[in-house]
């Protein structure tokens, strides 16, 4: 990073729950934090200015944080040592089209936006790779790093011990960025396997929906809100199996399953994805479940759909068989309203000899 002052400046663009809470360990370390609201974050910025509280995290924001609207982004980026991409997957296009051309040259980015893009023909790339492409096309020299690993925003804000992984091409830069964030409750591993880290953590969104189907199934079967874990664990094990296959297809190192499994675990308990999986598990159609959860943004749905699409392309190319990924395909059929819950248990059985 260009500046190694005692109080480096970090500008986060998109100050939803995760974009905001990740800056808290950095604030703890003495960094100067600037929030820039995306076009969707107007209320968060207004509320923060008025009360010092984060509207959706419902927790006080560390003292000294400065707040900027989207129109003030250039000012917020002035002198920044690092910027954070804090938008959700749904804000990615805005970030690529509007923000990247305005980013200062040479200032690295740490992205919390997790995901893979399907480029067609079964080829998937990670968001940081896409960001790099766009920046290069603008003639900018910006290093994009990203955050993976199990971490929900509100628990990070509550100082629950969290282990994450920062990935990027340059290990030296990753170490410098880690130094800004590492805290007694925030532990950072590093990896230059960007594709592997991003693939592992993106996939968990789809599979968390898959595991939570079992919650709804047991509610439905027993007529009470009681969870059974045999069926959740069966789906969890199958998810790990399919994630390992997909990780390999994406060109990621097999070790990344450790991140994927941890991330899957936290996401099953994490709220929104769990809600839709539970509703689908009770037998509700996807259409009705989305209606019931109206207004909730579900990145997992977008990511699951994209992963199914890529898998089907790979199947048509003969790279995989549909039966290699029976849980993902069932999730795909649920999301396409082609079927209600009907877990293909028999297809999970395998013989190893």
Residue 84: both structure tokens together = 């954070």
Q: Would you say 258 or 336 has its CB closer to a second copy?
A: 258
Q: Would you say 236 or 329 has its CB closer to a second copy?
A: 236
Answer for which of 68, 144, 181, 236 binds a second copy (CB under 8 A) is: 236
Residue 150 near a second copy by CB under 8 A: yes
Residue 171 near a second copy by CB under 8 A: yes
Residue 162 near a second copy by CB under 8 A: yes
Stretch binding a second copy (CB under 8 A), from 53-61, 127-135, 185-193, 315-323 = 185-193
Residue 221: both structure tokens together = 């079967």
Residue 179 near a second copy by CB under 8 A: no
Residue 158 near a second copy by CB under 8 A: yes
Which of 220, 214, 216, 254 has the alpha carbon at shortest distance from 234? 214
Q: Which long-range contacts (CB under 8 A, 24 or more apart) does 177-180 make?
A: 177/1, 177/82, 177/108, 177/110, 177/145, 180/8, 180/10, 180/26, 180/29, 180/31, 180/82
Answer for which of 262, 277, 281, 326 binds a second copy (CB under 8 A) is: 262
Contact 128, 108 (CB under 8 A): no
Give, to the nearest 10 degrees, the angle between helix 194-222 and helix 272-281.
Answer: 40
Burial (CB count <10 Å: 0-12, 13-18, 19+), residue 197: buried
List, in sequence order, every residue forming a beta bridge with 164; answer none if it has no partner. 188
Residue 349 near a second copy by CB under 8 A: yes
Answer for which of 47, 241, 312, 333 binds a second copy (CB under 8 A) is: 241
Q: Where does this chain bind a second copy (CB under 8 A)?
A: 149-152, 155-156, 158-163, 171, 187-193, 214, 217-218, 221-222, 227-234, 236-238, 240-241, 244, 253-255, 257-259, 261-263, 265-266, 269-270, 343, 345-346, 348-353
């Amino acid at each position: 990073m260009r500046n190694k002052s005692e109080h480096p400046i970090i500008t986060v663009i998109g100050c939803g729950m995760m974009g905001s809470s990740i800056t808290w360990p950095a604030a703890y370390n003495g960094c100067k934090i600037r929030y820039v609201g995306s076009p969707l974050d107007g209320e968060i910025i207004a509320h923060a200015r008025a009360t010092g509280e984060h509207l959706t995290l419902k927790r006080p924001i560390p003292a000294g944080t400065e707040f900027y609207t989207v129109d003030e982004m250039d000012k917020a980026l002035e002198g920044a040592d690092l910027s954070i991409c804090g938008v959700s997957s749904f804000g990615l296009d805005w970030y690529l089209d509007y923000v990247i051309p305005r980013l200062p040259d040479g200032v690295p980015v740490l992205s919390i936006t997790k995901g893979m893009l399907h480029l067609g023909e079964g080829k998937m790339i990670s968001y940081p790779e896409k960001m790099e492409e766009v920046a290069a096309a603008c003639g900018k020299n910006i290093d994009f790093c990203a955050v993976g690993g199990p971490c929900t925003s509100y628990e990070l804000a509550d100082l629950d011990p969290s282990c994450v992984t920062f990935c990027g091409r340059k290990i030296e830069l990753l170490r410098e960025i880690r130094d800004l964030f590492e805290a007694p409750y925030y532990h950072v591993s590093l990896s230059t396997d960007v594709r592997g880290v991003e693939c592992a953590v993106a996939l968990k969104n789809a599979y968390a929906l898959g595991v939570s189907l079992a919650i709804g199934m047991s509610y439905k079967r027993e007529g009470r809100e009681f969870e059974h874990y045999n069926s959740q664990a069966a789906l969890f094990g199958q998810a790990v199996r399919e994630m390992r296959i997909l990780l390999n297809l994406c060109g990621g190192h097999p070790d990344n399953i450790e991140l994927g499994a941890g991330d899957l675990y936290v996401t099953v308990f994490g709220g929104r994805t769990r809600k839709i999986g539970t509703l689908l598990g009770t037998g509700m159609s996807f259409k009705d479940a989305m209606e019931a959860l109206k207004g909730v943004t579900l990145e997992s749905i977008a990511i699951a759909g994209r992963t199914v699409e890529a898998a089907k392309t790979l199947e048509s190319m003969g790279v995989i068989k549909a039966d290699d990924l029976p849980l993902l395909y069932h999730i795909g059929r649920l999301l396409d309203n082609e079927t209600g819950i009907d877990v293909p248990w028999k297809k999970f059985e395998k013989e190893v000899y």
